Amino acid sequence: MGEGKPKRTRYRRRRRKVTLAGRLLTLLLAIPAAYMLAALIGSFAPVNREWTEPADGITIYLADNGIHTDIIMPADAEGLDWAAVLPAVPSGAKWVAFGSGEEKVYLETPSWWDIRPKTIWAALTGSRRVIHVEWVEDPSYAERTIRLRPAEYRRLWAAVRADFRLGPNGRRVRINHPGYGCCDAFYWATGRFNALRTCNSWTADKLRIAGVKTSLWPPFAPGLLWRYRRVDQRT
C-alpha cells in the first residue's frame, strides 16, 4: 500500500508539468492570434470617415513593397519646400518619399534576405525609430494615389516634418549611413518603434492628422492601402 504513494505523486507532478506546458503553448498561440484579430479590426475601422477625395488638389502617393509603405510628396507645393528642411537635394528630384521604421531593420537589412532573429526581436520589443528620406524624379512606381485639399496637405507636411528628431543645433539629425542608393538618407525620428507602432501605422497616423479617411490601426500594408485608388484609376 505504501508503494503506491510515490507513483501517484510522480503522476501528479507529470500532470502538472503537462498542464503548465499546455497553458504556456496556449498563451504563445493566443498572442499572435489576438494581434492578427486586432490588425483585422483596425484595418477596417475608419477614422475621418466623412472625408472624401476632392476633384482638384495636391496629389500624393503611397508606395509599398508588400510589407512597408512610404508617403511620396511633392518636393515643393503650396509654398512648402522640403529643400529648406532637408539638405543635399539631388538635381531633378521633384518628389520626396518618407518612410518610418525600426533602426536595425532599416540600417542593417538592405534586403529582406538580410533579416536576422535579432532584427525581428528588436522590431517586436521596441527600438529606436528612424525616418528614411528618398528624393525621386518620378513617383509612378507607387501603387496608390490620393488628392488632398491645400489645408490637408499642409497638415500632412507639418506632421511629417515634426516627426524628425532635432539635435542641439535645432537641425534634423542625419544618421551616418550610406543609404540604399544615390538619393536617399536616414534621420533619427521621435519616439520608438514596436509591434504596435509599425511603419504602416505611422503612415496611417500622418494621413489621420491631415484629415484623410484612413484605417484606425493597420500594422500591415494591405490594411492601409485598400482604401485608396490605384495610380491608374480615376475617382
Alpha-carbon distance 184 to 136, whole Å?
9
**pLDDT by residue, tens only, the chain of 235 residues:** 455 556 566 555 555 655 766 677 677 778 889 999 999 999 999 999 999 999 999 999 999 998 899 999 999 999 999 999 998 788 889 999 999 999 988 888 766 666 777 777 777 777 899 999 999 999 999 999 999 999 999 999 999 999 999 999 999 999 999 998 889 999 999 999 988 899 999 999 999 999 999 999 999 999 999 999 999 865 5
DSSP letter for each residue of 42-93: HHHSEESTT----SSSEEEEEEESSS-EEEEEESEETTEEGGGTSS-PPTT-
| Prediction pTM value | 0.86
Residue 112 confidence (pLDDT): 63
Name, in order, each residue with C-beta under 8 angstroms of 138's C-beta and a sequence gap of 6 or more: 94, 95
Alpha-carbon distance 125 to 154, whole Å?
33
Residue 18 confidence (pLDDT): 55
Start-end of H helices in 74-227: 103-108, 117-125, 150-162, 199-210, 222-225
